[in-house]
Amino acid sequence: MIDFNERTNSTVVASLATLQAAVKTMDGLSQEAFTTIAAAARGALQRMDGLGSGPYLATALGAILWAAEDAENRINSEAENVGCNHSRHERRGSAG
């Protein structure tokens, strides 16, 4: 028979494991997204001095936009999975 303390410890360990997995996933998502954003921005900056950079800049800006929106959505989803998602409403309410 499992006593209360064993059940509580088991629940805490399971909760910590879930939280750890979410944080690891969020870290991976942010590294992937921000590496893409940095590479696209770096490339755009290098091309700004060259002729005919318009099509490249459009592609780079599209990559930046996609990476930023994708990272925001995926990271938010992971945070929601463990009840730790950020709310813009909460931030505004605490600032004023």
The dihedral built from the CA positions of residue 51, 69, 42 and 29, taken in this order, carries a sign that is negative
CA-based end-to-end distance of the chain: 52
Q: What band does 95 get if pLDDT is binned at 50, 70 and 90?
A: very low
Phi-psi region of 83 (alpha: psi -120 to 50; beta: other; left: phi over 0): left
Each residue of 52-92: pLDDT tens digit?
Answer: 667 777 888 888 888 888 988 888 888 888 887 777 665 55
Q: What is the pLDDT of residue 96?
A: 42
Per the model's pLDDT, the better-predicted residue between 12 and 85 turns out to be 12
Task: Please name which of 15, 82, 21 lies closest in space to residue 7, comparing C-alpha atoms.
Answer: 15
Q: Please state the domain extents for the chain.
A: 4-95
Using an 8 Å Cβ cutoff, are 26 and 13 in contact?
no
- Find the length of the chain: 96
pTM of the model: 0.59
